[in-house]
Amino acid sequence: MKSLAILLSAACTLPPPALAQDTEQDIAAAEAAVEPSGDNDIVITGSRFGGRTRIGSATPVDAISQEELQQSGRVDLIQMLKVQVPSFSSPRPLASGVGDFLQPPSLRGLGPGELLVLVNGKRRHTASDLNSSNGIGRGDVSIDFNAIPTLALSRIEVLRDGAAAQYGSDAISGVISLFLDRSVGARAQTTYLTTTEGDGDTYEASASVGVPVGANGVFRLTAAYQDRGGTNRARPDTRQQYFGTNAAGRPVLPSGNFGSGTGLTAPAGTLDPREAGFDRNVFQQGDQPNTNKQIFYNLVAAAPGDVEIYSFGGYNRVDGDIRYLFRRAGQDETVRAIYPDGYSPGLDTRIENFSTAVGLRGSDLLGFGWDLSSVYGVSTQDLTYVNSVNVSLGAASPSRFYRNGSDFYQWTSNLDLTREIPVGDSSPLKLALGLEYREETYRLFSGSPDGYRNGGVPILDGPNAGKPAIIGSQPGPSNGPDDRASLNRHSYALYGEVEKDLFDRLLVSGAVRHERYSDFGDTTNFKVASRLGLIGSWALRGSYNTGFRAPALAQSGYNASNTLILNGTQAIVRVAAVDTPAARLAGANDLKPERSNNISAGTVFDVAGLTVTLDAYQIKVRDRIAISSTFQDARLANFLAANGQSGFAALSFLTNAVDTRTRGVDLVMNYRRTFSDGSRFTGTLAGNYNRTEFDRIAPTPAPIAALGITTPLFDVTQQLRFSDSQPRDKVTLDLNYTRGPVTLSVTNTRYGEVSTIAIQNRTPAQVAALVTGYETRTVTPPGTANSDIIQTFGAKMLTDVELSWQATSAVRLSAGAQNLFDVYPDENLASTVASVAAGTNGSDNAGTQPYNAISPFGFNGRSVFVRASLTL
């Protein structure tokens, strides 16, 4: 605080500012830009000193107008960003719990936790859930982009550069800044979308109204509702469903092999007659059905004394239904007295977000422009298993179990000061100072006792009758009383920023931020950036910055069991909080903050309607946080049990596992032309290439290594999530032509290849039976002749098209298609008769799951839509 007082004292002795900066004025200027979709837009993200054109910025910033977001009939914000921003990516998770609806985002190849989101320049809270699925984003928390209706936005800016020195924790890969609409008037739209397979029906309706408040103020309210139907691309389950009968007339467990229930491959025993009439369409692979209700407001009004008051915030609720993998009638996970023909457990999901911000700003506080704000945000989740069973409770088991709940609270308050100081030339020295205080709380709740307790009832029938039953609800036990968590922390930050134009061609800026956290101490970070004008509009730009990311409280406190697909089969994996006895016995330590060093260099030019920006970057991150390998070994289970921690068949925990280095390049080319007949053409070619490599991978924890287990702390499965499970390259070509009232838009997006571990521990004969016709490579762990198969899914090009007609000055009608040419990703390694003969199924869950969840564009195929918009 002493350093801030010295800076304030020195600044207050200087002459009055030439102009007090007002962020809202800069937002209004950006909204009023002549060409909202052109590269002359004013952008304000990445600097506290007002707007510059995109090519005038020292760091790369994408600006996306509200009209561009609405293109191609999309209704969810994260899918809009994925098409509009080449370095932005997100998978379509499958049966991953809450992750199916949050869809973890990635910028420049890094994780969802290294991306900061701002709303009207203020920090947005994250979701409360930790992603513990077996996919991209595992071990991280995400921003819930579903919380804000897109009709409430005027524009989005994406800063593709580290900015922790400016905005604090999480801004390692960049910043997505959402600006709320503050215009007067009314807008409404309705959309209907469906796949050409006849599923995935989506209905969307939204309305936004802005009314004047006083002379210069406005209050705008936006409400939206989306109802998304599920999609399904699963294939029939050809496995044996019921007990077979041996020669002695006794029941035997069914074969889990592809084709074993339909005569393609050998069954276990003689087939039950019910196999012939069984409806084998029992799996679901695709988007999960859900509804989303959203409401958001934005208020700006004059207050006495040349002061402006503002407030914004909103509420949303997502209700979703998730179907997990089918449990066959003959499996030990089934109570046949309840589900004689098997069942698919489900998860009723409720996600809620609430936020509100209030602030005051003015132009003269001891000669400074000032902004005093406080933002409060809450995310809550409640998860309930349905169509489930706890086998150890026998025929008396309920079918519905409360799994767990969680919530996350964030309260952030800021005082920001800006001043322009004349220094005797045409450009003043711009100075910004600020203070921040933030409180955070994370809570994890236990579930229904029937969902985790041992009812003591053995398996009731079949070959294993009388043996101990599986304990806990399906697909995984609900949280017990020992799983509960309640963590909180607070932090203080002091920051400053300066900017100066020199010689009418050189822009230099610098920022420094010191932050103190109650749980891990102090951190100081800085950033320097510069832009040098050369000839005409040609310029060079670059930046260097250090950054940090504080561990999310959920990463320290999350403690639960989850059902994952490991090596092609289901397994219950315990993710143990780092401070629990089991995790400590396995070698877990308290989490440390991630640290980063970012360097970026680029060039820009604008000539004859053509604007080009090219930026290369390197991001080094030390102590990246991730969930460890899954340690599934009887020696570890026995060791834990001997030390009072029983029941751990498979264990993992959060850890600072690796240091990574990500290198890449962004290219954006935009061409604009207006023809003599008044028609207009805009074309944008944008691409990103990035590659993540490992500078350090932590070895096997000492307590586990002492048991003779050689699994590294971060094995190849986890490594591929960081390095290869998101496209290394992505290119978009967006073409728009307007003639009179008609606009045609065509967007082509090429997603690069992605790779993942398909299946592990296979013999050479099994590998040979699986890989023919697929792009694969193998790795052979030390000490074994068996191999793990890595599958690569090839690059694909998707085309979206939209035709819009401005029927009247108020009414606009649109129709079009997403994925016009019905492109699907490459398929998983298939289970076949030949593979079963070699002793293995493929990586497609015995033929039922043809597509992999790492696909960067999902696997729904073609969708068509119609939309009507009204503007008054």
User: Residue 39 pLDDT more than 50?
Assistant: no
- CA-based nearest residue to 167, from 521, 377, 436: 436
34 pLDDT more than 80: no
Contacts of 862 (CB under 8 A, 6+ apart): 195, 196, 817, 818, 819, 820, 821, 822
Q: Where are the domains of the chain?
A: 2-237+281-753+794-819+857-871, 239-280
- Give CA angle at 273 (270, 275), nearest 5°: 90
Tell me the average pLDDT across 789-804: 96
Q: What share of the chain is helix, strand, coil (3-state, %, to 5)?
A: 15, 45, 40
- Range in 47-51, 136-140, 321-325, 448-452 the model is least confident about: 47-51
Dist. CA 193–CA 150, nearest whole Å: 17
Per DSSP, the three-state class of 61 is strand
In this prediction, residue 78 has a pLDDT band, given cuts at 50, 70 and 90, of confident
Among the listed ranges 31-35, 65-69, 827-831, which one has the minimum average pLDDT value? 31-35
Residue 36 has pLDDT above 50, yes or no: no
Q: How confident is the model at residue 650 (pLDDT cuts 50, 70, 90)?
A: confident
Structure tokens at 513: 């931020």
Q: What are phi and psi of 147, to 5 degrees?
A: -75, -20
Lowest mean pLDDT among 57-71, 310-324, 530-544: 57-71
Residue 138 contacts residue 129 (beta carbons within 8 Å): no
Residue 133 and residue 151: Cα distance in Å, rounded? 31
Mean pLDDT across 841-856: 94
pLDDT per position as a tens digit, 218-271: 999 999 999 999 999 999 999 999 999 999 999 999 999 999 999 999 999 999
Give dist(CA 548, CA 164) in Å, integer.
6
Q: How confident is the model at residue 22 (pLDDT cuts 50, 70, 90)?
A: very low
- Between CA 860 and CA 286 the distance in angstroms is 7
Lowest mean pLDDT among 242-246, 606-610, 748-752: 606-610
Regarding the domain delimited by 2-237+281-753+794-819+857-871, which CATH topology (the fold level of the hierarchy) does it fall under? Answer: Maltoporin; Chain A (2.40.170)
What's at 795, amino acid-wise? A
Per-residue pLDDT tens digits for 512-535: 999 999 998 999 999 999 999 999
pLDDT of residue 96: 65
Q: Which amino acid is at 16?
A: P
Q: Summarize pLDDT for 548-558 with one digit per residue, the tens.
A: 999 999 999 99
| pLDDT number for residue 562 | 65
Provide the pLDDT for residue 720.
Answer: 92
Q: Greater confidence, 2 or 163? A: 163
Strands 368-386 and 290-303: unpaired
Going by the DSSP 8-state scheme, the letter that residue 178 receives in this structure is E
User: How many whole angstroms separate alpha carbon 808 and alpha carbon 871?
Assistant: 10
Q: Which of 756, 767, 763 is nearest to 717 (CA)?
A: 756
Distance (Å, rounded) from C-alpha 163 to C-alpha 121? 13
Residue-level pLDDT at 422: 92
pLDDT at 76 over 60: yes
Asked whether 741 and 771 are in contact (CB, 8 A), the reply is no
- Asked which of 41-45, 175-179, 660-664, 854-858 is least confident by mean pLDDT, the reply is 41-45
The three-state DSSP-derived secondary structure of 796-828 is EEEEEEEEEEECCCCEEEEEEEECCCCCCCCCC
Both tokens assigned to 254: 């069914």
Give me the DSSP letters along 399-467. S-EEEEEEEEEEEEEEEEEEEEE--SSSSPEEEEEEEEEEEEEEEEE---GGGTS-------SSTTTTS
> Using one digit for the tens of pLDDT, what is the confidence trace for 364-375?
888 899 999 999
For the stretch 485-499, pLDDT in tens is 999 999 999 999 999
Question: Which pLDDT tens digit goes with each residue over 330-353?
Answer: 999 999 999 999 999 999 999 999
**What is the SS3 assignment for 652?**
strand
Beta carbons within 10 angstroms of residue 742's beta carbon:
12
Max mean pLDDT range (93-102, 596-605, 717-726): 596-605
Question: Which distant-in-sequence residues (6+ apart) come within 8 Å of 642 by Cβ?
Answer: none
Question: What is the average pLDDT score of the chain?
Answer: 90
- Distance between CA atoms of 217 and 211, rounded to whole angstroms? 9
Q: How confident is the model over 201-213, as a mean pLDDT? A: 96
Residue 648 has pLDDT above 80, yes or no: no
Q: What is the pTM of this model?
A: 0.90
Based on C-alpha coordinates, what's the Rg of the chain? 28
In terms of DSSP bridges, do strands 115-119 and 174-180 run parallel, antiparallel, or are they unpaired? parallel
How far from 125 is each of 164, 172, 409, 410, CA to CA, in Å? 16, 16, 8, 6
Tokens of 382: 């409640």
Q: How far is CA 137 from CA 160, 310, 354, 602, 642, in A?
A: 19, 35, 23, 29, 34
Question: 555 — phi, psi (to 5°)?
Answer: -70, -30
- The average pLDDT across 832-842 equals 97
Question: What is the DSSP-derived secondary structure letter of residue 148?
Answer: S
SS3 501: strand
Determine the average pLDDT of the residues in 54-63: 87
Percent of the chain with pLDDT strictly greater than 90: 73
Whether the per-residue pLDDT at 20 is higher than 90: the answer is no
Per-residue pLDDT, 12: 41
The pLDDT tens digits for 575-605 are 889 999 999 999 999 999 999 999 999 999 9
